[in-house]
Amino acid sequence: MIEVEYLRHIDEQRYNEFLYRVSDSHIFHTPEWKKVIERSFNLKPYYIIAKNSNGTIVGALPFFYVKKLTKKKLTSLPFSIYGGVIATDLNCINSLIQELFKLKETLSCDFVEIKQPPNNQYNILLEKNSLRGVQIRVDQYIPLKPPIVLWNKLKRSCYTAIKRAKKKGIIVKRINDKNYLNKIYNLEVLTRKRLGIPIPRFDYYLNLWKFLYPKYLEIFVSEKDDDILSSDIFLKFRNTILGMHNASTIEGRRLGANTLMIWEAIKWGYQEGYKIFDFGSTPDISKEGVSPKYDGLFTYKN
């Protein structure tokens, strides 16, 4: 017997335990990430959970209600790379989807959006429930191995950039001071303006620190003569370290600072026992209608 309800504060501990039982969970499924989105963007969450007859959580489908101009939608999950359904019991999927459709009607939403990572078990069940899959992004990640093994597989351009950055006296460090967020945000603003992508408010970065640091958050920067040249905000969960926000100056890229910083983060991830270094998903540049501005990002990650 499967019962479906909405996540309450009283269930958060059991929900967290469920996230570590299910193999497909991501940092974006956590209550902490939910708080980041709530506080930063003033969106209302609807986290649908399924319980078995013993009251154990066996499935979840988290959503936020998003309203823009005349359009209303339910998204799993906004401002997140991944989202979607997760379950230890596939029999609960239909119940979760049925509740989702009820919620869609109640809120008079135009459509639902699920950022479901590739998983044949889930995808088949989602499609059986009238949800159509469209691949518009590709995942780019590497299994973490001893640094010497990865170094020998680097493209010539990568290790040339790393050596150049070291020769120029660029250093990489991990950040443990909240006050450093101002520098990182200023760099983010410059980078996003250059790329023509939206800029979140500073509150978002403060909330990342407030709710995720140090358990789920790691920040690396590269510097030369105390000037910040690049930064990367990483999210940590289970066996994966995920690059969430990368920023750099044009000079930093020319000097190889960004490449050196990512290389140091990869080495750190391996030393800390992580198994996957996830560069995050990127718009699929082979798809029609995808802006050519993403060509450089896709190629750089490769």
Q: What are the pLDDT digits (tens) for 5-60? A: 999 999 999 999 999 999 999 999 999 999 999 999 999 999 999 999 999 999 99
Strand, coil or helix: what is 160?
helix
**299 pLDDT more than 50:** no
pLDDT at 129: 79
Tens digits of residue pLDDT in 136-150? 667 789 999 999 999
Q: Is the domain of 145 the same as that of 92?
A: no
**Number of domains forming the structure of the chain:** 2
Q: Average pLDDT, stretch 240-250?
A: 97
What six digits make up the tokens of 178?
Answer: 């909240």
Which band of pLDDT confidence, cut at 50, 70 and 90, is reported for residue 281?
Answer: confident
In a shared domain, residues 290 and 170: yes
List the CATH number of the domain containing 36.
Answer: 3.40.630.30
Predicted TM-score (pTM) of the model is 0.90
> Of 82, 80, 86, 73, whose CA–CA distance to 113 is shortest?
73
Residue 302 has pLDDT above 60, yes or no: no
Q: Are residues 181 and 247 in the same domain?
A: yes
Do residue 56 and residue 176 come from a single domain?
Answer: no
Q: Is the pLDDT of residue 297 over 70?
A: no
Beta bridge partners of 87: 59
Residues in Cβ contact with 187 at an 8 Å cutoff, skipping those fewer than 6 apart: 228, 230, 231, 247, 248, 249
Domain shared by 81 and 227, yes or no? no
Q: Of 114, 134, 154, which residue sits at a domain end? A: 134
Are the C-beta atoms of 242 and 281 separated by less than 8 Å?
Answer: no
Check pLDDT > 70 for residue 3: yes
228 and 212 in a single domain? The answer is yes
Q: Which residue is it, tokens 């489908």?
A: 61
Residue 127 pLDDT > 90 = no
Average pLDDT over residues 102-125: 88
Range of the domain at 33: 3-134
Task: Report d(CA 109, CA 103) in Å as an integer.
Answer: 9
* Residue where a domain stops, chosen among 101, 134, 167: 134
Q: Give the pLDDT confidence score for residue 125 in this predicted structure.
A: 79
17 lies in the same domain as 96: yes
